[in-house]
Structure 1
Amino acid sequence: MAWISLIAAGLFEMFGVTMINKLHRDRNWKAFILLILGFGASFLFLAFAMKTLPMGTAYAIWTGIGASGGAILGMIFYGESKNWKRIIFIAMVLGSAIGLKLVS
């Protein structure tokens, strides 16, 4: 259950980051409220996951999902560069988080 919570935390982190971008573009209350809810849910699920998982592993996976997911969403929805070098480094972030789990 902790791993499911951790993945949910990462997905909510991605949502929160997307709402930061939306708030920057639209400047409306809806985006602001969704930003607060997204990051709030992210921290709540992260805290739940950390009851069972080691802090270092949980935090690395959470930030890996959030950072990689945010970059991927930027490429898909906001026209950010899809350069192969960016994709390699995103894969390295995810690979590092997975590697940390494997050696823990």
Structure 2
Amino acid sequence: MAWMFLMVAGIGEISAMFFLKMSEGFKRLLPSLLALVAGGMSFYFLSLSLRDLPIGTAYGIWTGIGSAGTVMLGILFFKEPVTRKRILFLCCIISGIIGLKLVS
């Protein structure tokens, strides 16, 4: 169950970053509120996962999911550039997430 909590926490982190971008520096009320709710949800589920997972592993995977997911959202929704270097380093993040999962 801890891994499921960690996945939900990662999705919450990605959602929080998406809404944070949409809030335009907390100038728009609804996206600002959604960013705060998603961020809170992310921390809550991360804390649940920490009951059973080592903190270093959980935090590394949580930030990796958030980072990789946010890069992909930026490319898909905000027209951020897709370059070979970005894809290479995105693959490095994903490889690190997989590696941490395999050794845990």
- Smaller-chain TM-score bracket: over 0.9
What corresponds to 2:93 in structure 1? Answer: 93
Quote the Cα distance in structure 2 between the aligned partners of 1:68 and 1:44: 20
* Distance in 1 between residues matched to 2:87 and 2:69, nearest whole Å: 11
Number of residues paired by the alignment? 104
Deviation per CA, 1:45-104: give whole Å up to 9, x if none. 000001001101100110000001001000000000111210110110111122123233
Provide the identity percentage. 39
Q: What is the CA–CA distance in structure 2 between the aligned matches of 1:103 and 1:10, rounded to whole Å?
A: 19
* Structure 1 vs Structure 2 CA RMSD: 1.3
TM-score of the aligned structures, taking structure 1 as reference length: 0.94
TM-score of the superposed pair, with normalisation by structure 2: 0.94
Q: Which residue of 2 aligns with 1:13?
A: 13
Runs of at least 5 residues in structure 1 that lack an aligned partner in the other structure: none
Who is 1:39 aligned against?
39
| Match status 1:103 vs 2:100 | no
Q: Which runs of 4+ in 1 moved over 3 A?
A: none
2:20/2:26 contact within 8 Å kept: no
